[in-house]
Amino acid sequence: MSRALQTQYNAAVADVQAVVAQIRALPENASRSQIDSLQRDLQVATTEAERTQANLENSGELESVSKRFIAQPVQGGGRPDAEWRTFSHGESIADHFAARSVGDDDLQRGSLGRMLRGMATGNWRGAELEQRALGTATGSAGGFIVPDILAGQFIDLARAKMVTSAAGVRVLPLEKDAFGSYTIAKLTADPSTAWVAEAGTITPSDPTFGAVVIDPGKLACLVRVSRELLSDAPNAAEILQRTLAAAFGAEMDRAVLEGSGVGAEPGGLASIAGLGEESMGDNGAVPTNDTGPAKLAATVLKVRQANHEPTAIISSPRQWSLFHNLKDGQKQPLRFGAGLDELNWYQTSNCSDAITQGSSGAAGNVYTGDFTKGILAVRQGIEIYITRDAYLTTDEVAFLVTTRADFQAEDDGAFARLIGVTAS
């Protein structure tokens, strides 16, 4: 009997995955009827999978591999009732993990850096909490899974370094045991309203939704450290943790803004086809008193015409300087107008100044938009691998730290970019 139930359940989960695969294959211009039909199919398939799962649970024969369906989104898509919690800049993911953990309250005083130092040197003095937590955190292929609270601390440190987070991009922590991809809803058109006379006919109007697939790719950092330094320097653990977090934050910033979308790399604002776009010209151009503010205002206007209000502007330091060194007739900094002067303009070296624009190979972009409509999904299952043999002759250890992440815009219309900004 239980084998038959298990077969039914596996078939139901396969049906869910098949529908999600169809959703993932939807083109950008998919019709409303196509999207609605697949959403209905997903709901039906999910309900059947949950029904067969309940039968298995009642039989007492639910296999551990099958419990994944109720624990987190299934491979290739998300359950409609899956937990959804994003974190804005300043909100602590570590505190959230600590609040829902059982028996790990002391780990709030823990440190990923001290854990790494203990792993490398074998000296756990002052890191007993981390040693105890690591004892049950063995991951795949010999790696170690960082406990949730310490992983949350690490993600928080990385976010603190990210200008995209400061501009409003929200972080969605993905369950560390989750596998495959997640499907979330995306608004592609707003509902409309109308004034109606007494007893008049009200025409129905629905928002148009599309599917956004979050498919995390691996992000890895390999760092070598002297074992002697780790043993002797009292601040080595803190510096190691801070440096790794800064490196992850910098790369996630770059991916959000200018990720290529090729291979495991997420597609950032530079590569999303649906974004509003202004150009400085076929071959790029240097901003002037006339063209600089006008092009910037036109870029912001594209966001506002899509019923969004920009929260910030982001560019490289060079682009910021090109605009802010413009002077008016009194040799005073030129005011941009159109509400642009009040927008926070963040600078990051993770925006390239070497983009090809026609005959120019030294162009750059300026990004604006409502950055709260951006979602950076980060898997909380951070894994650490350590090796001593490869650098035995230099008495160094190497840490390989990996996680998975993806970026998606909830609404492409919330963002716009100004391309082709050059310095000469």
Q: For the chain, which residues make up each domain, given as ranges? A: 2-71, 83-180+215-424
DSSP 371: G
By three-state DSSP, how is residue 350 classified?
A: coil
Domain 83-180+215-424 top-level CATH class: alpha beta
pLDDT of the residue at 100: 63
Say which amino acid occupies 351.
C
Question: What's the rounded Cα separation, in Å, for the pair 299 and 312?
Answer: 12
Question: What's the rounded Cα separation, in Å, for the pair 121 and 107?
Answer: 21
Question: What's the rounded Cα separation, in Å, for the pair 143 and 382?
Answer: 10
Given a cut of 50, whether residue 353 has pLDDT beyond it is yes
Given a cut of 70, whether residue 201 has pLDDT beyond it is yes
**CA–CA distances in Å: residue 193 to residues 46, 78, 205, 236:** 33, 31, 7, 60
**What is the per-residue DSSP string for 140-154?**
GGG-EEPPHHHHHHH
Contacts of 29 (CB under 8 A, 6+ apart): none
Given a cut of 60, whether residue 142 has pLDDT beyond it is no
Mean pLDDT in residue range 156-165: 93
Given a cut of 70, whether residue 83 has pLDDT beyond it is no
**Tens of pLDDT along 250-296?**
999 999 999 999 998 999 999 998 799 999 999 999 999 999 999 99
pLDDT of the residue at 105: 56
**CA–CA distances in Å: residue 220 to residues 83, 144, 149, 264, 310:** 27, 14, 20, 11, 32
- Per-residue confidence at 386, pLDDT binned at 50, 70, 90? confident
Strand 355-357 to strand 360-369: parallel, antiparallel, or no bridges (unpaired)? Answer: antiparallel
Question: What's the rounded Cα separation, in Å, for the pair 175 and 397?
Answer: 29
Question: What's the rounded Cα separation, in Å, for the pair 49 and 41?
Answer: 12
- Per-residue confidence at 189, pLDDT binned at 50, 70, 90? low
| Listed ranges 25-34, 89-98, 110-119, 305-314; the one with the highest mean pLDDT | 305-314
Q: What share of the chain is helix, strand, coil (3-state, %, to 5)?
A: 40, 25, 35
Mean pLDDT in residue range 339-349: 92
Least confident of 20-29, 124-133, 380-389: 20-29
By three-state DSSP, how is residue 132 classified?
A: helix
**Token representation of residue 219:** 């992000």
Mean pLDDT in residue range 29-52: 70
Burial classification of residue 422, based on how many CB atoms lie within 10 Å of its CB (0-12 exposed, 13-18 middle, 19 or more buried): buried
Top-confidence residue, 262 or 2: 262
**Token representation of residue 263:** 């291979």
Question: What's the rounded Cα separation, in Å, for the pair 229 and 236?
Answer: 7
pLDDT of the residue at 39: 66
pLDDT of the residue at 90: 87
Percent of the chain surpassing pLDDT 70: 76
Say which amino acid occupies 199.
A
pLDDT of the residue at 65: 34
Instruction: Please give the span between the terminal C-alpha atoms of the chain, in angstroms, as a whole number.
Output: 76
**Tens of pLDDT along 224-253?**
888 788 888 888 888 888 889 999 999 999
Given a cut of 80, whether residue 55 has pLDDT beyond it is no
Candidates 128, 134, 109, 110; CA nearest to 386 is 134
The per-residue pLDDT of the chain, averaged, comes to 81
**Tens of pLDDT along 61-78?**
544 333 333 323 333 344
DSSP tally for the chain: helices H, then strands E: 12, 14
Given a cut of 70, whether residue 116 has pLDDT beyond it is yes
- Per-residue confidence at 329, pLDDT binned at 50, 70, 90? confident
- Per-residue confidence at 365, pLDDT binned at 50, 70, 90? very high
Cα-only R_g, the chain: 25
Top-confidence residue, 11 or 297: 297
**CA–CA distances in Å: residue 82 to residues 71, 72, 112, 133, 268:** 9, 7, 29, 27, 25
**Tens of pLDDT along 397-411?**
888 889 999 999 988
Mean pLDDT in residue range 175-188: 64
Residues 326/289, Cβ–Cβ less than 8 Å: yes
Question: What's the rounded Cα separation, in Å, for the pair 17 and 46?
Answer: 9
